[in-house]
Structure formats: C-alpha cells, structure tokens
Amino acid sequence: MAVVSAIGFVVLCLLAANIDFGQVGEELPRVALLGAFVAAATFLTIPLSRDASGPRVMVDSPFVFALVLVGDPGVAALVMAVSLTLSGLVHHKPPIRLAFNVGTHTIGLAAGWAVWTALSGGRVDSSALPGILIGTAVFVAVKTVLFVGSLALDEDRTVGPARVLRQSVLVIVMAQVGVLVLVLATKDPALLALAFALMLGAYLLLRTETRAVLDRDDAEATARREAELRAQEQEVARKLKETDQMKDDLLAMVSHELRTPLTTVVGALRLLSAGPPMSPAERQEMLEMADRQARRLRVLIEQLLLAAQSDNGRAGFLASATDRVEADAAKLLEEAATEARAGACGDRVRVRCDRSLPVRTAPDVVLQILGNLVDNACKYGPEDRPLWLVGERAGNDAVLAVEDDGAGVPAAERERIFERFTRLEPGRGLGLGLYIGRQLARAQGGDLVVTDARLAGGARFELRLPLRAPAPALLPSAAEDRAAPLRVVPGPPPARAKR
C-alpha cells in the first residue's frame, strides 16, 4: 500500500504539472459540471460486506474519464484526488487506506489516458470510440487489480478478491457505457444532467444487486451455522447417551467384580466364626482363600483410584521424577519372577535376561507393572505351559518383556487394550491393569507395548525404559564372554512350587 501510494503521488504530481490550462479554459463550463459530478459520484459507493469499514466498489469512473476526455488528465486527477480525500475523511478511512485509494485511481487514470492517447491520438469523435472504450476499461481494470492485490495480502479481509473482481466487471461495463453517454451529452448541459441521472440509476441497480448477494450470503451463513449447531447438538446428545450407557456398564461391572471377592471373604469369615468345627488344615485353607480374595479386592480398589487420579492429573506417579533412582532392570526382572513363583504361577515362570540393564527409574513402579503383566499371563495363558520374563537391550532402551503361550492379542486390538475399562474377554477384571501400566511406564520416561511373542506362541508385553548410559565398549575377552548365550534361569522344582 505504501509503494502504490508513493507511485500514485508521483504520477499525480506529473499530471498536475502538465495541465493544459488553455484547453481547460475553453471547456470550463463542461469541466466544472463534470468535476461536480465526480465529486458527487465519489460518495456513491457499493459496500461488499456488512462491515462498515470493509471494502467498497466506487462508481465514479465514468465521470472521471469523461473529465479526462473533455478537459485535461491533470485536472481530472486533481479533482478525483480531492474528492477521494473528502470521501475518505467522511467515512473515517485510515490515512494509509486513503492515500492508497488516491494512488490506485491516479495510476489507473494515467494508464487509461495513455492507452486512449496511443490508440486515438487524443481525439474525441466517432472514430475514436474504440480507443475511448479501451482506455476506460484499462482505467477501471488497473485500479481494480491494485485494489485486489492489497486485498489478497490482507490477512484480516472480510471479502475475498474473487468477489471484488466479479463486481468490477459490472463496473467496467457501466463505466464504458457511461463514458459514451457523457461524451455524447457534453454539448448540452440538460443531456449531461440526464446522463448523470442514468448513471445514478445504474448505481442503484448495482447496489441493489450487491445487497441481494449479501442477503443470500447471510442466509447461507445462517443456514450453515444452524446445521453446525444441529450437528453439535446431535453429537452432544450421542455422547451423553454413550456416557450414560458407559456409566451403567461401569457400575454393573465394578459392582460385579467387587462383589465376587467380597462375598468369598464374608463367607469364609462366617464359616470360621459360626460354622461347624474345622480341622487346622481346613481353617488354614479358609484363611488363605479369604486372604487371596481380600488382596484381589484391594488391587481392584487401588486400580480404580489410580485410574481416577490419572484422569484428574492428581496421580503421584505422573510427577515421580524425583522418586527415580539408579537401578538394574535385570535384578528387578528377577525380583518380579521370584514374586510370581511365590504366587499362582509357581514353577511356570522362566527368566531370560542380559547381565546388566542400568536404568534410572522407580523400582516399585517397575515391579507393579511387571506384577500386573505376569498376573495377566498366568490368567490368560495355558496352565501347563511356561511363561517367560525376558530382559534385553534394544538400542538405547532396556526392554523387560512378559510372554505367554496363550491366544495372543489381535493386531487390531493392540492399542485399544490400553484404554480404560477395555476387556477382550468379558467378565475378567476391570480392564484397568494395562491402562494403568502404560501410564506408569510413560511417567517413567518409557512405554508399554504389545507385540507377538518370540519364545512362546502368545502375546509379548514389553516395558521399555531408557538405559542410563550407552553400553561401554567391551574388551576382547569380555566380548567373547558376551557372545555366550543369554542366561536362562529356570523355575524351582515343582515340589517346591506353591499354588
């Protein structure tokens, strides 16, 4: 805008410096009348949007170019510049916008005058009509292109350039017809006034057409907003319905899962307190059963609490960076295997791991994740098949994996099983263990994923943790020793296994 304004100011000065006062003096009455028409037409604008400060199409072109033909381009440029300045002040245009409008009109006027002069030699007669029409079209086209260029670069525009170009085509046609009428009517002031009235009527038609377009655009925008609101309402209604269904399903699932162990505990305690006499072995069996179910109940409640805290951003493990310590993930894997052997898995547990997997993590968190994975493997894997705890390096990560020989996890479900309350087999658990495990893993800077098993035929759940430092280069003797097969730790003899 600044460049166009500066060029327009230079062109205006050049035109004003070369005014032919003799020609102006000879045609002074018509020049004065056309000048008045130019001043009046400058205030006749066609808004292209509802925004009062938005872009507008001006219809002063016929009168301006007629003034060029009758009088002088310098006089036409000065009258046009003064009229545009007054119109801009009335409409509270910013100074840069006002200067830009004067610049575009002046550059367009100079271009149109140059084309007319080149084609018609400055004559105004029947033989010069093609040059006059082409010069008028060039005048309107140049100023329109400059205006559209600034509009295309304006990020806050309210009207697209295509809309202005479509409207400008009508203005070009109106300007060409208007110039012809004005040139023919300049010999008679009455005819000139009639020509002005005709231009005013054409302006009113254009303005009416533009308002109709704006009304149509407003109606379409209103229809789109109403359609979007209806779609949003339907989406909200659908989500509310889904939420209600999920709430009902969750309450039913939680009540069922909590009721089962609680019923067992209450029943065992009643038998112990008010039931028939029992032998010491029977009493011990009842106590162990109640203890198992009570621990299961505690785990379910803890999972629900952790899931709720994680969703609300209050879970302590989500900000547990200060709880991390330097540890050996291989030792944590062996500790998890020891705990698993002491539980329901017994002698099914096998361990295969690297000698050292230095990490920086919270050991309790790692054991909690591995314990949950092992518990799942025991539940979903065949009872007569082993399950593997594997520790290895994968690039800059330590991978602690739990494999079973079960049915595995379908590829399409491998991300969904980490969502809350997702269970591939209904009636088994709350569907929170894997969700919490992944949250815990990511809070430690790692991740929890599922792949195909390598040592068994089922699923392989991998807990990935960043290694504390890259593995140091091995000495030749150490490299030979390192090339030995990975250490495999079998489970204890079956006689010592505890079911």
**Cβ 403 vs Cβ 454: under 8 Å:** yes
- pLDDT number for residue 218: 76
DSSP state of 412: G
Cα dihedral 323, 326, 330, 335 sign: negative
Measured distance CA(36)–CA(33) in Å, rounded:
5
CB contact at 8 A, 64 and 23: no
Strand partners, 449: 462
Weakest-pLDDT range from 92-101, 262-271, 407-416, 457-466: 407-416
Q: Angle, nearest 10°, between helix axes 161-185 and 61-70?
A: 40
Task: Give the integer Cα–Cα distance in Å for 6 and 218.
Answer: 38
Lowest mean pLDDT among 11-25, 89-103, 298-312, 348-362: 298-312
CA distance 372 to 497: 20
Question: Would you say how long the chain is, in residues?
Answer: 499
Binning pLDDT at 50, 70 and 90, where does residue 489 land?
Answer: very low
Res. 491: pLDDT tops 60: no
Helix (H, G, I), strand (E, B) or coil at 449: strand
**Residues 459, 408 contacting (CB under 8 angstroms):** yes
DSSP string for residues in 102-132: HHHHHHHHHHHHHHHHHHHTT--SGGGHHHH
Q: How confident is the model at residue 7 (pLDDT cuts 50, 70, 90)?
A: very high
Taking a C-beta distance cutoff of 8 angstroms, is the pair 287, 272 a contact?
Answer: yes
Radius of gyration over every alpha carbon of the chain, rounded to an integer in angstroms: 44
CATH number of 240-316: 1.10.287.130
Q: For residue 484, what pLDDT is reported?
A: 39
Could you give the angle at which helices 28-41 and 73-90 cross, rounded to 10 degrees?
30
Q: State the pLDDT at residue 103.
A: 92
What is the amino acid identity at position 52? A
* Mean pLDDT within 456-472: 78
pLDDT at site 400:
92
Task: Note the CATH number of domain 2-187.
Answer: 1.10.1760.20
Can you tell me whether residue 147 is helix, strand or coil? helix
Each residue's pLDDT tens digit, 391-435 = 999 888 999 999 888 777 777 777 877 876 666 665 455 566 787
Q: What is the pLDDT of residues 323-356, one digit of tens each?
A: 788 899 999 988 888 877 766 667 788 888 877 8
Q: Is 383 helix (H, G, I), strand (E, B) or coil?
A: coil
Q: What is the DSSP string of 166-230?
A: HHHHHHHHHHHHHHHHHHHHTT-HHHHHHHHHHHHHHHHHHHHHHHHHHHHHHHHHHHHHHHHHH
Cβ contact 388:406 at 8 Å: no
Q: What's the pLDDT at 171?
A: 67
Between CA 230 and CA 251 the distance in angstroms is 31
pLDDT at residue 275 is higher than 50: yes
- 323-496 architecture in CATH? 2-Layer Sandwich (3.30)
Instruction: Give the containing element (helix H, strand E) for 83.
Output: helix 73-90
pLDDT band at 322; cut points 50, 70, 90 = very low
CA-closest candidate to residue 496, choices 346, 289, 348, 284 = 346
354 neighbors 330 (Cβ within 8 angstroms): yes
| Distance in angstroms (rounded) separating the CA atoms of residues 350 and 82 | 95
For residue 478, the model assigns a pLDDT of: 37
Q: Which residue ranges make up each domain of the chain? A: 2-187, 240-316, 323-496
CA–CA distance, 263 with 257 (Å, rounded to integer): 10
CA 77 to chain centre: 49
Rounded CA-CA distance 466/284 in Å is 45
What was the pLDDT predicted at 465? 92
Q: Is beta strand 447-452 parallel, antiparallel or unpaired with respect to 397-403?
A: unpaired
pTM for this predicted structure:
0.43
Please give the mean pLDDT across all residues of the chain: 76
pLDDT score at 107: 94
For the segment 266-283, the average pLDDT, to the nearest whole number, is 83
pLDDT for 313 beyond 50: no
Reported confidence tier of residue 308, pLDDT bands at 50, 70, 90: low
- Looking at residue 194, its pLDDT comes to 66
* The 3-state secondary structure of 313-370, one letter per residue: CCCHHHHCHHHCEEEEHHHHHHHHHHHHHCCCCHHHEEEEECCCCEEEECHHHHHHHH
| pLDDT tens per residue across span 141-175 | 898 888 878 777 775 555 566 666 666 666 666 66
pLDDT interval class at 122 (50, 70, 90): confident
